[in-house]
Every structure is written in structure tokens, then in C-alpha cells.
């Protein structure tokens, strides 16, 4: 796996906890929405909530549980961008080279 420049690696390490918090906030908002719209069938709501949390936990693992290394950074950046977690201003902090590699590296996988 191709490594990103040290400068970009420092940005990825700084963004990691920010994006993890952003992801969790989005999921908690979705859970709150599910609960707020819940009918009187609490058991059905519980089952839907359970399924949602299981699905989101798997997704969170794919997005954030990779070994943090310069070698895995391109995959993380690709996934963060694909899932809409990284904002444009954060994306533009990375070098053009890294942005291009993250955009292109996994398209054909």
C-alpha cells in the first residue's frame, strides 16, 4: 500500500478523532429520530434500533478500526470521503497528490 507524505499523515491523525465524533453524532441523531418517530409498539422499535446499531457498528468498524498507519491512510481517506464524513475544508488541507491518490486508488478495487 502506498504511503502518504508525512505532512498529510499528521493531518489524518488530527482528523481521525474529529471524524469519529462526527460519525457518532450522526448516528445518535439517526437513533433519536427513530425513537422520536416510534409508534406505540415498543418491541418493534427496539428491534429496529437493535438492527440499526448493529449495522452502524459494523460501518464504524470499517471506517475507523483499521490499523492507524501511513500505509492505511489512503483507504481511510477514501472511505471517509465516500461516506461524506470529511468536509471540503478538511479535504483541502491535504496535498493535491494525496487527494488524487485517495480519489483514484480504490475506484477499481
- What pLDDT shows up at residue 105? 60
Q: Residue 34: which of 65, 3, 42 has the closest Cα?
A: 42
Query: Domain total for the chain?
Result: 1
Q: What cell numbers appear for 54 in the block?
A: 448493529
Is residue 99 in a domain?
yes
- What pLDDT shows up at residue 106? 59
Q: Residue 2: which of 107, 86, 108, 106 has the closest Cα?
A: 106
**For residue 18, pLDDT beyond 90:** yes
Is residue 109 in a domain?
no
Is residue 1 in a domain?
no
Q: pLDDT digit string (tens) for 84-106?
A: 999 999 999 999 999 999 987 65
Is residue 98 in a domain?
yes
Q: pLDDT digit string (tens) for 23-73?
A: 999 999 999 999 998 778 889 999 999 999 999 999 999 999 877 888 889
Amino acid at each position: 500500500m502506498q504511503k502518504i507524505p508525512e505532512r498529510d499523515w499528521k493531518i489524518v491523525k488530527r482528523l481521525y478523532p474529529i471524524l469519529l465524533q462526527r460519525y457518532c453524532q450522526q448516528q445518535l441523531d439517526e437513533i433519536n429520530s427513530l425513537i422520536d418517530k416510534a409508534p406505540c409498539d415498543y418491541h418493534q422499535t427496539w428491534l429496529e434500533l437493535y438492527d440499526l446499531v448493529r449495522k452502524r457498528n459494523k460501518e464504524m468498524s470499517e471506517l475507523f478500526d483499521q490499523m492507524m498507519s501511513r500505509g492505511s491512510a489512503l483507504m481511510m481517506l477514501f472511505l471517509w470521503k465516500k461516506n461524506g464524513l470529511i468536509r471540503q475544508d478538511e479535504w483541502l488541507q491535504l496535498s493535491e497528490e494525496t487527494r488524487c491518490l485517495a480519489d483514484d486508488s480504490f475506484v477499481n478495487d
